[in-house]
Structure 1
């Protein structure tokens, strides 16, 4: 972007996702003239599922493995690390599905092709499109996080398909940067706050209530990915200004640029 076409010029943007995705979002905001503040309000770690041994022994019995997130892929392969050699021997007999481009790209890193991905990246649309397009299954495995819903599994079971849900990772609330976040909000620096999941907003809202910062929040423009995240924000009384149809951070960034670009033209 050229210096005279910086839609986020001078805008202070809170980024609540950490890791590679958060770093990329920060770089994108800066390239558009914005001032990014990365304060991760969500993090992930491996989960020790009580049924892990059973799932590991049963991997060859599944004809579909369905991933609903990039983290699902990443932590699944961590879980099966000691069984990877056996998995490579029978993986060609399994079909794989992904919800979203990032999930599909993560599968590709493990040299696995996705055989199905819905046009809209939600569990509801996955469940509908999978059967509309004539796919079927006998036994499906869904590696997921501890906060993920049961929509896909419930849909498969309603079609008399065995659907096992393996919790391979858990979400937790990182607290090391909370003091910094409190100061940023108290000083009324933020023009926008971006949330990638209901958890990121719930953790943000926990800070707002714990430190009595409500009066500092109403001038912030909220951006979200997905209807569930949008509803979580609106249920607390905050309007959502940006919510892209495509559920990706890249799409949220582009719509954030459009939103502030329009504001700048109106000024």
Structure 2
């Protein structure tokens, strides 16, 4: 444990109910964390499109999951059409984007047939293991927002790409008091971001609390991103990124955070 880092505080932005593993990793590294739930996960407005797609799973070649939320939504709705993850059609293969997504599947007793090497959506298209473009893919995605890159890329080469909403993500209405006070007193050393949507919601929460001058609360705070798309969003909303995780997972985020805090630490020696 790096005891000299304990005086620095990092804000972990996250989705509701999804901080336990991240919190553990940061604490094990000796980093003092502040909590900031910036994403509420709710059911989509209408389950019918997803239920109808699941009823015709035999017609699909691949099932694409890009988040743990998608995995949870899938498991929840499969029971309504008489399936379970362990009783899927034998011809159906599963592609998972990201280590957390594949791990969520594994915990439910099912293995991914394909995981892109870079854990990001762009590499899924590049390395997708289907030699025949005459295939049909079902993707479980967020209802509101999200990238359209995958749908456009697959459809461009003739793949039948069907997307259905499995969940929606909303901005919370509350802000933890301890985290708010740390921003007020300029005691936040860094903020970590794990998705583009979380970046957007965090910025909206800060603007709600601090008004048009909300960026002033971050002037001495490092911005740390988990991956390329999150980095792009950070540049768009915050104007900068001070570090990006490599690899693009929680372990890489911890490593990037340690590097940033060590740089800050040397300035005071």
Tell me the TM-score normalized by structure 1.
Answer: 0.88
Structure 1 CA distance for aligned equivalents of residues 206 and 49 of structure 2: 38
Residue 24 of structure 1: SS of its match in structure 2? Answer: helix
1:27 deviates by 2.7
Q: Do structure 1's residue 138 and structure 2's residue 135 form an aligned pair?
A: yes
**CA displacement at 1:79 relative to structure 2:** 1.6
> 2-side partners of 1:184 and 1:264: how far apart?
18
1:45-98 CA deviation, whole Å, 9 max, x = no partner? 221244234213211211110111121111111122222447755432211111
Partner of 2:7: 10
Is contact 2:226-2:248 (8 Å) kept?
A: yes
* 2:165 aligned to which of 167, 181, 194: 167
Measured at CA, do residues 138 and 216 of structure 1 come closer, stay the same or move farther in structure 2, by a change above 3 Å?
closer
RMSD of aligned alpha carbons: 2.3
- How do 1:202-217 and structure 2 match up within 5 A? 202-210=200-208, 211-212=210-211, 213-217=214-218
Choose the corresponding residue for 1:200, options 190, 198, 201: 198
- The 3-state SS of whatever aligns with 1:66 is strand
Query: Which residue of 2 is the match for residue 259 of structure 1?
Result: 260
TM-score (norm 2): 0.87
Residue in 2 aligned with 1:224? 225
Q: Select 2:117's aligned residue among 116, 119, 126.
A: 119
Q: Which of residues 33, 38, 42 is equivalent to 1:36? A: 33
Runs of 5+ unmatched residues, structure 2? none
Deviations 1:236-257 (A, max 9, x none): 3442112113221221012211
CA contact (8 A) 1:118 1:126 kept: yes
Separation in 1, partners of 2:3, 2:103: 30
The verdict on how the C-alpha distance between 1:108 and 1:190 changes in structure 2, with shifts beyond 3 A counting, is same
Give the paired residue count: 263
Residue 264 of structure 1, CA deviation: 2.9
> Per the alignment, do residues 87 and 216 of structure 1 end up closer, same or farther by CA in structure 2, a change over 3 Å counting?
closer
Look up the SS of the partner of 2:38 in the other structure: coil
